[in-house]
Amino acid sequence: MKTEIEVKFLDISIDVVRARLTELGAQLEQPMRLMRRVAIHGEFTKVNDGNSFLRVRDEGDKVTMTYKQFDSLSLHGAKEIETTVGSFEDTVALLEKVGLAAHTYQETRRETWLLHGVEIMIDEWPWLAPYIEIEGQSEEAVRNVASQLGFDWSDAKFGDVMVAYRHQYPHLLENETVGNIDEVKFDLPLPGLLKA
């Protein structure tokens, strides 16, 4: 499995981050676009204490199927196996036919930049302040880009999107996740799970 070397910085201003990326000469790889995904949990998630899932994601320019596993909430804790598939709908239907039905549908928006070989993703999720994710081939490269963007490493967060939701909604318990919400969509009102 591939180790993802990635970090999140929360509660960002998209305009400020875009301006800094432009100033640094970063390349806009993909403009802000709507992405949709389904997450699937099953018997396979018990192997890693429930810290893994299967995801099918329409990224706008391609559709991927990914097994994600979080060994720890650290810079090197995320592992994944990812492949490109042909169709979002057909892949979801195929998985349903073999007993791996999606239990949540999620929409997000993402903008992707590249600076010194490091990917910077500006992410928006429903009911959540925007954040960035910085992913690279080495810890040094990720730390360097974070510093160039003006982020303090002591503010770094690691893990899946729930680290951001738990930051914004501190009442959430460990087993309360957006994965428990049938539909995570921008046009829906704040769900009960996120209300304090």
Would you mind telling me the total number of residues written for the chain in this entry? 196
**Tokens matching residue 14:** 């998209």
Counted domains in the chain: 1
Amino acid symbol at 8: K
pLDDT digits (tens, 9 = 90+) for 140-161: 999 999 999 999 999 999 988 9
What distance in Å separates the CA atoms of residue 137 and residue 5, rounded to the nearest whole number?
Answer: 7
The structure's pTM equals: 0.89
pLDDT digits (tens, 9 = 90+) for 161-177: 999 999 999 999 988 99
- Could you give the percent of the chain with pLDDT greater than 90? 76
Q: Please tell me the number of Cα atoms within 13 Å of 131 on its side-chain side.
A: 27
Residues 6+ apart with CB under 8 A from 49: none
Nearest Cα residue to 20 out of 186, 148, 191: 148
pLDDT at residue number 141: 97
- Using DSSP's 3-state secondary structure scheme, residue 15 falls into helix
Q: What is the CATH number of the domain that holds 166?
A: 2.40.320.10
The answer on pLDDT for 48 being more than 60 is no
Residues 6+ apart with CB under 8 A from 23: none
pLDDT digits (tens, 9 = 90+) for 58-92: 999 999 999 988 888 787 888 889 999 999 999 99
| Domain limits for position 21 | 2-194
